[in-house]
Amino acid sequence: MSDATASFAAVFIALYVAHSVGDHWIQTTHQAAAKGSSTWAGRLACGRHVLTLTLTKAAVLAPVALLLHLPLSAAGLGAGLVLDAISHYWADRRTPLAKLAMACGKGEFYRLGTPTHPDHPVTSAGNFAPTLGTGAYALDQSWHLLWLGIAAMVIATV
């Protein structure tokens, strides 16, 4: 196994763990609710979320890289984390990812679990039953995973 292969694996795992922590534990309720707004407040909320998420990724990745003696360059780390941050901001503004889903024919899946989907979840009284399991969330997270993989490859090979 090459150094780049081992580095890619370790970096991806570290980024994946940090992503989950940063996206679900570190992100504030305000950031989660406001980051998709078309206002400057929404842009700032999304920017703050991406900043704390990127700092979380760096904080998790640093000890992994040091303890495992990964041969990573500052340029690779910087490029990978910036690329990941940009892709995360783009998706978390919500409208761009929704438009991509519609363009790819995934609009119905994107709306899954929301009141706008024809088969939305309902209570026993027939009212909409809110759920965290939405198509939008699944597509959001899979988008982030794609870019975590790309960022890990950049970090491991640059």
Residues 6+ apart with CB under 8 A from 33: 45
The strand pairing partners of 122, in sequence order, are 128
Q: Whole-model pTM above 0.75? A: yes
Work out how many domains the chain is built from and give that number. Answer: 1
Q: Which domain holds residue 13?
A: 3-157
pLDDT, tens digit (0-9, with 9 covering 90-100), for 130-143: 666 788 999 999 99
pLDDT, tens digit (0-9, with 9 covering 90-100), for 35-84: 999 999 999 999 999 999 999 999 999 999 999 999 999 999 999 999 99
- Give me the long-range contacts of 43-49 (CB less than 8 A, separation at least 24): 43/93, 46/89, 46/92, 46/93, 47/89, 49/92
How is residue 37 annotated by DSSP? -
Q: Once rounded to an integer, what is the mean pLDDT over residues 14-22? A: 98
Q: What is the helix (H) or strand (E) element at residue 9, kind and residue range?
A: helix 3-21
